[in-house]
Amino acid sequence: MKVAVIGAGVMGLTAAHALRVRDPGCEIEIHERSEAIGAAACSRFAGGMLAPWCESESAEPLVTALGQEALEWWPRVLPSTRMLGSLVVAQRRDGTELDRFARRTRTGEAIDATRLAGLEPDLGGRFGRALFFALEGHLDPREALQVLACELERDGATLSLGSDARAGDLDADVVIDCRGLSAADELPDLRGVKGEMLILRAPDVAISRPVRLLHPRFPLYVVPRGEGVYMVGATQIESGERSRISARSMVELLNAAYALNPAFAEAEIMETGCDARPAFPDNLPRIRRRGRVVHVNGLYRHGFLLSPALARMTAGVVFDNQFHPEVMDEDHRQRRTA
């Protein structure tokens, strides 16, 4: 079978990976509009947290259920994935936010200041208590995209960078459309949710796992990227805008980092980032089959968490005609003509 994948963001690459695993003989070509892997994908700005239980505070149970596959999948494919758990903290006066978070999630353990200092010495003494989700992990999204792309090419997939190909142009038995928000031209109920992030270099701060800072207005998080580099994210604004980080967002993001550890005040701002996450009205992902085109989209803020499960399902749809009602609200199979 010949399969074309459009879009080399996390969904396109994981889908290609799953297709190859399902059928090593399958001919795969990947079309990416940008000149470098990840250059135009919103995956580039992801936090890279593998946190199915923390996310359940505001996400539907399906996200937690599918997200657990990521905990096992990523460490296998990407050896640098760290499975050190994640932490949730709140400033003293926002203690009720922490109570609510604990009430609405599972697997988090309430820990005291001593235990917190044991896990993350640089947060010691700054928070009276925290929640520890020991089973969660994190990865570096840009490295993950590179590793997946290299592996696919090594195994014989064709990677066409700078290719603006559309499904109609491609001579393939099946086209997997993973264009993210750009597919709104064919998926009219897809919308963008703007996210803004920063990358800081703070060699004086040593934090080894993702930390979420709860705040009634701006819940934000810091994810370590190693060697004193941290990603601080992310705003969530109902807007499809893909450029321009606002001064207000920058202040909020920096305040969150500063609240975790004042040494972040000395950090170097290496990068500011902004893009729009593709989302359907219920913020849940969809696989939509329309003839020989299979759209996989709407991963919202859960690209790295949900893509392994969606990739597996996509391979099932392509090769075994599977139907996954939890993510498939449309199924227009290719008409077989004699």
Partner 1 sequence: MNVYGTELNSRLMLGTAQYPSPAIMAEAVKASGCDIVTVSLRRESGAERAGQAFWGIVRELGLKVLPNTAGCHSAKEAITTAEMAREVFGTPWVKLEVIADHDTLQPDVFGLVEAARELVSQGFEVFPYTTEDLGVADRLVDAGCEVLMPWGAPIGSGRGLANVPGLKTLRSRYPELPLVIDAGLGLPSHAAHAMELGYDAVLLNTAVAKAGDPVIMAGAFARAVEAGRAAFLADPIEARDMATPSTPVFGMAFQD
Which range binds partner 1 by CB under 8 A, 117-125, 139-147, 239-247, 258-266? 239-247
- Residue 193 sits at φ, ψ, to 5 deg, of -120, 110
47 binds partner 1 (CB under 8 A): no
- Which two structure tokens, joined as six digits, stand for 279? 């989302």
Q: How far is the CB of 278 from partner 1 (least distance, A)?
A: 11
Comparing CB distances to partner 1, the nearer of 268 and 282 is 282
Which range binds partner 1 by CB under 8 A, 14-22, 45-53, 169-177, 273-281? 273-281
Residues 6+ apart with CB under 8 A from 171: 2
Comparing CB distances to partner 1, the nearer of 244 and 332 is 244
Contacts (CB under 8 A) with partner 1, residues 119-178: none
Listed residue (13, 55, 62, 103) closest to 210, CA to CA: 55
Inter-residue contact 47 to 233 (CB < 8 Å): yes
Q: How far is the CB of 239 from partner 1 (least distance, A)?
A: 4
59 binds partner 1 (CB under 8 A): yes
Dist. CA 289–CA 181, nearest whole Å:
17
Q: Which of 109, 185, 282, 329 binds partner 1 (CB under 8 A)?
A: 282
Listed residue (193, 130, 170, 127) closest to 31, CA to CA: 170
Q: How far is the CB of 270 from partner 1 (least distance, A)?
A: 24
- Burial profile 69-91: b = 16 or more Cβ within 10 angstroms, e = fewer: bbbebbbeebeebbbebbbbbbb
Which range binds partner 1 by CB under 8 A, 39-47, 128-136, 143-151, 234-242? 234-242
Residues 6+ apart with CB under 8 A from 292: 167, 172, 173, 174, 175, 334
For 44, 77, 116, 269, 304, the CA distances from 275, given in Å and listed in that order, are 9, 26, 33, 18, 16
281 binds partner 1 (CB under 8 A): yes
241 binds partner 1 (CB under 8 A): yes
Strands (E), the chain: 2-6, 27-32, 49-50, 86-90, 109-112, 129-133, 137-138, 158-161, 174-177, 191-201, 211-214, 220-226, 229-233, 268-279, 286-291, 293-297, 331-333
Q: Which of 125, 216, 226, 291 binds partner 1 (CB under 8 A)?
A: 216
Binding residues with partner 1: total (CB under 8 A): 23
- Which two structure tokens, joined as six digits, stand for 162? 């700078």
Q: Which of 2, 92, 104, 106 binds partner 1 (CB under 8 A)?
A: 104
239 binds partner 1 (CB under 8 A): yes
Q: Which of 86, 105, 261, 283 binds partner 1 (CB under 8 A)?
A: 283
Q: Which of 2, 92, 244, 332 binds partner 1 (CB under 8 A)?
A: 244
Q: Which of 7, 192, 224, 308 binds partner 1 (CB under 8 A)?
A: 192
Q: Which of 33, 126, 142, 191 binds partner 1 (CB under 8 A)?
A: 191
Residues 6+ apart with CB under 8 A from 262: none
Dihedral, CA of residue 197, residue 201, residue 207 and residue 210, to nearest 10: 20
Q: How far is the CB of 24 from partner 1 (least distance, A)?
A: 38
Comparing CB distances to partner 1, the nearer of 59 and 148 is 59
Comparing CB distances to partner 1, the nearer of 168 and 281 is 281
Find how far residue 44's CA is from the centre of its chain.
9
Binding residues (CB under 8 A) for partner 1: these are 58-60, 103-104, 191-192, 194, 216-217, 237-241, 244, 246, 276, 279, 281-284
